[in-house]
A and B are shown apart, each in its own frame.
Chain A
Amino acid sequence: MLGIMLQKMWHKKWMNLSLLLGCILLVATAVSFPLYQSAAYNRMLTDEFDHYLSNEGVWPAQLTLQVSTKKEKDGKTITTMENYIPTIYRDLGVQERDTIYLYTITGGAVHSEYERNDANDLSARLGYKSKLEDHINIVNGRMYSDTGLSDDGAIEVIISQKCMTKQGYLVEETMAFNALKTFEGKTMRYKIVGVFEPKSPGDLYWKNDKESEYDDLCLMNPELFRNSFMGEKSVKFSIVCRYTAMFEYENIKATDVERLQKSVDYYAHTGSYRNVIDEPPILEVLNEYTNKHSRISATLTILQIPVLIMLAAFLLMISGQMYEMERNEISVIKSRGSSRLQIFLLYLYQGLTLTGLGILGGVPLGMQLAKLLGSTRNFLIFDLSEQLKVSFDQRALMYVLAAAGTGLLCLTLPAIKHSKVSIVNLKQQKALNKKRLWEILFLDVVCIGISAYGYYSFQRSSADMTETVLNNKAMDPLLYLSSSLMIVGLGLLFLRLQPILLKLIYTIGKFFWRPAPFIAFMENVKNGRKQQLIMLFLIMTVSLGMYHSTVARTIVENAIRNTDYADGCDLRVKEVWTEIVDRNGARTGTYIEPDPSKYVTAPFIESYTKVYRLKDIEMEGGSNGKLTVNLLGIHTKEYGEMTWVDKKLNGKAYYELLNELAVVENGVLVSANFRDKLGFKQGDSVTYKRQNGGSATGVIVDFFDYWPGYAAEITQQQPDGTMSNDPNYTVIAHFEYVKSKLGDVPYEVMAKLKEGTTDEQIYEWKEANDMRLTTYVNRNDDLEEAQTDPLLQGTNGVLTLGFVVTLILCGVGYLIYWIMALKERELVFGVLRASGFHKGEVFHMLFLEQIFCGGLSILAGFGIGKLTSGLFVPIIQKVYASATQLLPMELITDSSDLTRLMLVIAVMMLFCFLVLTLMTFRMNVAKALKLGEE
């Protein structure tokens, strides 16, 4: 049996190779989705941890426990704790990073042994911290000695710089406790031998302690501490023990999250240590992750639906071709006396071999595919430096098995079906070119109808959508389904119309067609339905490709533009200004301006400008009434040089508005909603005043709809979950005019940065100038954040993956289809060539057939893709738009996407065409004619 099978497979090696390729692709694409998703979730989780770490400066994956022992003789609590802490790692299933112990005792009042008057009311705590020596620099004096005791028996301690200044200690000073005695009964004394500072400011070692921990703590030799206060022969104290168990988060997997969340939550809120555990930061991280995950997982799953549909269609097509190809084969085997079971087994073994090889080849390929997609930056744009760690898990295994199972079914189905059919009714069946079920059911019209309904209902409920977005809910699956149905429906409609169109063209030149086009037309007219599946495939590849690229581009590009607009410029900072108080402590309303020279000297600032940004300004004009507005005071030239608004937003160039303002000293630009509300016009006078401050008059020079960072409405979510829209009225005036009329109030600085400015540069500059900021907006950071949003990235990844998969399936499917179709028509080609059909004519005929089938489908795909994008992308985009979407949404298509799509498809078609032409040219005519001998 095995021999027969291998022989049979070798005999049809071309077809079997195609089938094998099909199996490999099937498994690879099916497995790439779960692999990519779980890898993307893992990365998102790690990002979440990283994010917490860089924002809070605290190691996120840690538990901190603090217990105080009573003055117990056996030190049982400490022994228990010290045994307990290491078990946490095992219990949580995580890898230890570092465990830090901090033990302190409150010693009590102390006095200096120096004759000093200024060090009277002092009290001190003694303690030790594990691995201290690795995390400090001694800035003055020295480290405590190995014994921990000085020559005169005092305990050697080191203190922080803050402690030094706060307590007024002196280095080499020896202090004595007023009341405390050693175990031997002597007065307990300690000597300040050194002052330390943390080795690096960001060192996580220090980040779990209370802010004032080291203000009065004298750190001593650990061994001496344990002997003096914990050992058997020691003074009994109440000891505060602080344990920090830090563990690695890099290898925490997304699949661990739920379990970890439960365990940590148990520790912190339920377990016996709940009262001694600090609220673990990891919970915040995990909760944040879970929120995001639930928001994006549904969306990502929905996005992959069309690709799964394509996969199914691919299988259907392959098995359909198998069905055609194997008909003769099976009836021949059967007529030679094989039983149905034997036939079935033959095909089953063949199927098992193919799917088995498919798994072997498909899984590694799928992993590579997923890895590649992990580096998606934008649609079809990869940043290969960013690798995704892909690992095979249970869910992936399920996908593999499902794919392989379906594949196997497709490969054996023809045997099951055909083993009942004898050669007689076979020939009758072959003649039929029946209407397909979908044509009879008008499935195309149904699909279009449903999607049209979906479109209109989503159009109407766009306000609800905003609410959904703000509530972090996932996209409504129906929305995406509607657009997919639209594509399928229009595709089917095209399939219905295509034969009519061809028949029309054929009829026009009915009698004049030369042999090649004649055969091509007739082939399509008679056997066109066989091609419908591959045509639908092409249509869907192209239209989904266009649609998905538009979705991806639009959401990313709009996110970028919105951030660009909302931030207004590269850098915005506002320092804390100190208000001058008078002798009685009352506020004066005048402030001390922080030194502005740092903006001039900062090496990365190209230019900067001062801007007043004032709230709660009352503005009125004549009898029109008054409103509370926001006021912006700008230097028109400087401001205009670093900000920008698209001309089409205001219907007027941005610089024109600035110029209009520039020439009128007391001129104001007013937001259009202010005009609409109170009915002002250009040239009207207004007065505006600050609460408890000066007032000014202005002349309206013009109105604007859009201004950098300005939104006409501020959308906010109320506590009850509903949305509120508050109008935002804004007035723009000259900086100097505002300063002279309303008083010198704190201003904001907007800066244009030099190319290549890094975050570190800005950070160092802030630190060096000891700046305290109330506003800090860094556009590069915000842009980076907008683009690395996991939903955005995941969407791009899945859409790109979907597109790549569809493209591969389509290419391979197309090739397999045509190779099989050609094999089926080999005899006809033989007859044609024998009767004197030229090679050029064969080429011509094949070319036309490709155009009728492939070319028209691709054209239809472009049309359908464009139409669907135009209709649905604006709705889908809302799902991704942030709550702070200020700009009107714009549909973005990048012509390079289209070019890339065209290029890939052109290469695919060309390759197919080449293979087909080669196959026909190399065909031995005489041999082909003998094929029908049996």
Chain B
Amino acid sequence: MGNIIEVLDVSRTFPVPGGEFQALKHINAAIPESSFVILKGRSGSGKTTLLNIICTLDKPTGGTVRIDGEDVSKLSDYKKEELRRKKMGFVFQSVSLIPSLNAFQNVEFSMRMAGIKPGKERDKRVEECLRLVGLGNRMTHMPAEMSGGEQQRVAIARALAHRPKMILADEPTAELDSAMAARVASLFAEMSKKEGISILMTTHDVGLMGAADYLIELANGERVSESE
């Protein structure tokens, strides 16, 4: 099995008054295909920075990131955007649905973005994804009519609807209760196998670690350990 994401000697420094702050120090990591990986660490450990770099929203000050074998630093902004919309799915910490679209349309939107042709197939896929996250009966609801957990599940359905190579999730369980968080984690684990998608999720919730195939731990910008 190959690695869908490869992080090679990645550093990131931010200029601060009177010097610079090193958020990431020579990180190496690899995320294999169809695996569920948790990126753990306390707040300030650099996990969001690393996630931003992986999803091409930020650039490393040193090192290389390869997505699907391709060095992303060589890609233009436009190419990066294409990469994000076709090969990646996102789940964010807080409300990330488009408020003017209902659950169905929100999920369908990521498929529109990925350029998937309209038709019965597409509709079926939307329904399938929503059912997968347990919201088959709430497809026409607006985001504002749903609870935080439900919204987050719609976001997950949206992230996987267009069959991306990977899903990047930044603290998706932060605003959910522990039962709901566990459900989301097991959903991720299940999907990585079922749909063959690699999932990289950041969290500091220790209770969720068991669901992951791999753990990557960061502390003060440095890789601590890797375990199964």
Q: Which residues of A contact B (CB under 8 A)?
A: 427-428, 430-431, 511-515, 518-519, 522-523, 525-527, 827-828, 831-832, 834-839, 925-926, 929, 932-933
Which residue of chain A has its CB nearest to the CB of B110?
A: A835
Cα A832 to Cα B113 in complex, Å, equals 10
Extra A-B contacts (11), CB below 8 Å, given A827-B94, A836-B86: A511-B119, A515-B112, A525-B100, A526-B101, A834-B57, A834-B92, A836-B85, A837-B113, A926-B52, A926-B57, A932-B94
Return chain A residues, CB-CB under 8 Å to B86. Answer: 836
| CB contact between B85 and one of A526, A835, A929, A933 (< 8 Å): that residue | A835
Return chain B residues, CB-CB under 8 Å to A512. Answer: 118
- Contact: A518 with B81, CB < 8 Å? no
Q: 7 nearest interchain CB pairs?
A: A836-B85, A431-B144, A932-B94, A836-B84, A511-B118, A526-B100, A836-B81
| CB contact between B93 and one of A427, A431, A519, A932 (< 8 Å): that residue | A932
- Contact: A522 with B144, CB < 8 Å? no
Q: How far is the CB of A732 from chain B (nearest CB, A)?
A: 74
- Is B109 positioned at the interface, with any CB of A under 8 Å from its CB? yes
Return chain A residues, CB-CB under 8 Å to B85. Answer: 835-837
Count of residues in B whose CB is under 8 Å from the partner chain = 35
Return chain A residues, CB-CB under 8 Å to B100. Answer: 519, 522-523, 525-527
- Is B88 positioned at the interface, with any CB of A under 8 Å from its CB? yes
- Is B226 positioned at the interface, with any CB of A under 8 Å from its CB? no
- Contact: A834 with B119, CB < 8 Å? no
Return chain B residues, CB-CB under 8 Å to A428. Answer: 144
Return chain B residues, CB-CB under 8 Å to A835. Answer: 84-85, 88, 90, 110, 113
Q: Which residues of chain B in 36-95 are interfacial with respect to chain A, using CB atoms and an 8 Å cutoff?
A: 52, 55, 57-58, 77-78, 80-86, 88, 90, 92-95
Query: What are 14 A-B pairs with beta-carbon distances under 8 A?
Result: A428-B144, A519-B98, A519-B101, A526-B99, A526-B100, A827-B94, A828-B99, A831-B90, A831-B97, A834-B57, A834-B84, A835-B84, A837-B85, A926-B52
Return chain A residues, CB-CB under 8 Å to B144. Answer: 427-428, 430-431
Return chain A residues, CB-CB under 8 Å to B95. Answer: 827, 932
- Contact: B81 with A837, CB < 8 Å? yes
Cα A268 to Cα B105 in complex, Å, equals 86
Cα A527 to Cα B101 in complex, Å, equals 11
Cα A77 to Cα B189 in complex, Å, equals 119
Cα A519 to Cα B112 in complex, Å, equals 11
Q: How far is the CB of B97 from chain A (nearest CB, A)?
A: 8
- Contact: A834 with B90, CB < 8 Å? yes
Q: Which residues of B contact A (CB under 8 A)?
A: 52, 55, 57-58, 77-78, 80-86, 88, 90, 92-101, 105, 109-110, 112-113, 118-119, 142, 144-145
- Contact: B113 with A828, CB < 8 Å? no
- Contact: B83 with A836, CB < 8 Å? yes
Return chain A residues, CB-CB under 8 Å to B142. Answer: 431, 526
| CB contact between B109 and one of A431, A511, A515, A933 (< 8 Å): that residue | A515
Return chain B residues, CB-CB under 8 Å to A522. Answer: 98, 100-101, 105
Return chain B residues, CB-CB under 8 Å to A523. Answer: 100
Q: How far is the CB of B57 from chain A (nearest CB, A)?
A: 5
Return chain A residues, CB-CB under 8 Å to B78. Answer: 838
Return chain B residues, CB-CB under 8 Å to A514. Answer: 112
Return chain B residues, CB-CB under 8 Å to A828. Answer: 98-99
- Contact: B109 with A518, CB < 8 Å? yes
Cα A513 to Cα B99 in complex, Å, equals 18
Cα A241 to Cα B99 in complex, Å, equals 92
Q: How far is the CB of B84 from chain A (nearest CB, A)?
A: 3
Cα A63 to Cα B67 in complex, Å, equals 99
Cα A430 to Cα B145 in complex, Å, equals 10
Most A CB contacts (10 A, CB to CB) among B81, B84, B97 go to B81
Which residue of chain B has its CB nearest to the CB of A429?
A: B144
Most A CB contacts (10 A, CB to CB) among B83, B97, B109 go to B109
Return chain B residues, CB-CB under 8 Å to A515. Answer: 109, 112-113
Cα A515 to Cα B82 in complex, Å, equals 13
Which residue of chain A has its CB nearest to the CB of B144?
A: A431
Cα A933 to Cα B43 in complex, Å, equals 13
Return chain B residues, CB-CB under 8 Å to A838. Answer: 78, 81
Return chain A residues, CB-CB under 8 Å to B92. Answer: 831, 834, 929, 932
Return chain A residues, CB-CB under 8 Å to B88. Answer: 835-836
Cα A515 to Cα B98 in complex, Å, equals 12
Which residue of chain B has its CB nearest to the CB of A524?
A: B100
